[in-house]
Amino acid sequence: MNKILLIIGFLTFTGIFTSCVDDLDVKPKDPDTILSGNLGDDPQYMKQVLGKIYASFIIAGQGENGGADIAASDENFFTTMRALWNLQEITTDEAICAWGDVGIADLNTQTWSPSNPFLTALYQRLGLSVTYANDFIRMNQGIDDPEVVRYVAEARFLRALAYSWMIDLFGNPPFTTEEDGVGKFYPEQISRADLFDYVVSELKDIEDDLGEPGFSYPQADKGAVWMLLARLYLNAEVYTGTAQWDSCKFYADKVIASPAYELAQNYRRNFSADNGYDDGNLEMIFAWEQDGVNTQGYVGTTFLIESSSDADYLPAEEYHGLTENTNWNGNRARKDFMDILVDTLATYGNVPVPMDDREFTQADDQRVYLKIKRTIDIPSPSSSGDYGIGVYKFTARNADGSQAENYNPAYASTDFPIFRLADAYLMRAEANFHLGDRSSAIADINVIRERAYGDASGNITDADLSEEFILDERAREFYYEAQRRTDLVRFGQFTDGTYHWQWKGGTFEGAATSNHLDIFPIPGDEVSANPNIEQNPGY
């Protein structure tokens, strides 16, 4: 892949805004570390420091032996993307993890508390990215050079993205901007609705300063802004109490109308080593860039591939193309998700899935990358990863099965998608459904399903269209892409809805849980340390 190596720069700060500052290791890793105050010494430094902000979302750090920005017993375990994926996926029907590490069992069964380490890790990591962005923005605001203006806009986008996950996951986090400076102090808490308004305002303000769609993948551009705005408006009723479907449609329209983007003909292309926009996959709008040579670490898609593989049922070498440190045998899906993705009624004539078709080769939907492992059922939340539904959606190979140009036997070169064009279509379909334009909603859904089926055989009609169908179609299209929890919350099915999956609430059949779990708690250490922070209700 022709990667833009933005992730080699270094940056340190004199302080961190979070009150958990003592838990963060942000001291220089090298005497030649580039400091934000020296950005004007050489223009290349500015791009390197901007790269540090991008990298803060996907890897642990960039010093010797990884040089994690936040100290942890396993620096890869608590990176932003891994913690985010765990909170968004293993809390739902799409995944369950077999590992016994502290905090995982609580996520598997929706029984977490404010002390869950993955909550704390993601909260701190997102706060760190905001701090990096704040410092970069403060040091460079007011400079008229067009390239610098664009760099500042990118940093503001990354800060907005971090805050958007704060809105979604934690609701009412502490809030700082470039106006606050750095150092130890107690940041004020902001309400979910007010932070929503701030992020929307920021995104609209920077739109004209960013590059045109596709200008320099994987850097943020106008298309990334439109997608983030559409996604925020998609969830506006959850975040603010007021639906804004017109605005969601408006920004999805802008993405779909852009000639820079088009759906990949092959669904798997989005999850292969050649899935980047710069590789010719014009569906990819924004992603966390991975490279087996330059972004080594058990993070991102490497984590997804390794944690989903096992020696007996889904060997990493056979299914994913990696040969070193493989087959962690942790993550797999629950049977309830299999029932959504695999259309057994249509494919198998209203009979149970035949056990001799363990990879669903007869499924007409080409998005099915599942395999039945030892049994469909998972006997207990702590059962071996040999049980359940294996998922091999992501691969370290190219889409045609060939070896990646920058192949590494231990680390994938597959970018992790944050925004891709298919989401614009399904967001617009959902918006049109709520706006009463059912025919337009059906048309957009069928665009996605025609790619999935290879023809119009999977198309739906008005009789098929419902809220449940839209939610299920999003699961079929975006599974393992860290969106499922957000979607289930929006449709009222994450906790106390009617949809129960195996081990939800800690029971084999699944049970309703309290709706206060629709939002995660502020980590207990933060509440104890910062007198300005009030815990979310129910915790």
Query: Model confidence over 153-171: pLDDT tens digits?
Result: 999 999 999 999 999 999 9
Is the Cβ–Cβ distance between 301 and 387 less than 8 Å?
A: no
**Cα gap 92→410, rounded to integer Å:** 28
**Cα gap 232→238, rounded to integer Å:** 10
What does the pLDDT read at residue 373? Answer: 94
Query: Is the pLDDT reported for residue 395 higher than 90?
Result: yes
The reply to whether CATH 1.20.120.450 applies to domain 6-93+113-260 is: no
State the first-to-last Cα distance of the chain, in angstroms, to the nearest integer.
46
**Cα gap 229→248, rounded to integer Å:** 7
Specify the length of the chain in residues.
539
**Model confidence over 171-204: pLDDT tens digits?**
999 999 999 876 678 999 999 999 999 999 999 9
Interacting residues of 520 by C-beta distance below 8 A, sequence separation 6+: 87, 112, 119, 169, 170, 536
**Cα gap 105→103, rounded to integer Å:** 6
Residue percentage of the chain with pLDDT more than 90:
79
| Identity of the residue numbered 191 | S
CA nearest to 3, candidates 55, 49, 46: 55
**Cα gap 64→187, rounded to integer Å:** 32
**Cα gap 494→487, rounded to integer Å:** 8
Query: Is the pLDDT reported for residue 31 higher than 80?
Result: no
Q: Kindly report the pTM of this predicted structure.
A: 0.92
What does the pLDDT read at residue 40? Answer: 53
**Cα gap 286→301, rounded to integer Å:** 15
b/e per residue 410-430 (b: at least 16 CB within 10 A)? bbbbbbbbbbbbbbbbbbbbb
Quickly tell me which residue has 């035949």 as its tokens: 354
**Model confidence over 245-286: pLDDT tens digits?**
999 999 999 999 999 999 999 999 999 999 999 999 999 999
Neighbours of 436 (CB within 10 A): 9
What does the pLDDT read at residue 70? Answer: 77
**In the chain, domain spans:** 6-93+113-260
CA nearest to 378, candidates 326, 323, 317, 337: 337
Average pLDDT over residues 434-457: 97
**Model confidence over 76-123: pLDDT tens digits?**
888 999 999 999 999 999 999 999 999 999 999 999 999 999 999 999
CA nearest to 18, candidates 107, 126, 114, 109: 126
Structure tokens at 283: 């569906």
Query: Is the pLDDT reported for residue 19 higher than 50?
Result: no
* 3-state DSSP of 125-139: HHHHHHHHHHHHHHH
Interacting residues of 129 by C-beta distance below 8 A, sequence separation 6+: 53, 56, 57, 80, 158, 159, 162
Tell me, what DSSP letter sits at residue 22? G
What does the pLDDT read at residue 39? Answer: 53
3-class DSSP state for residue 372? strand
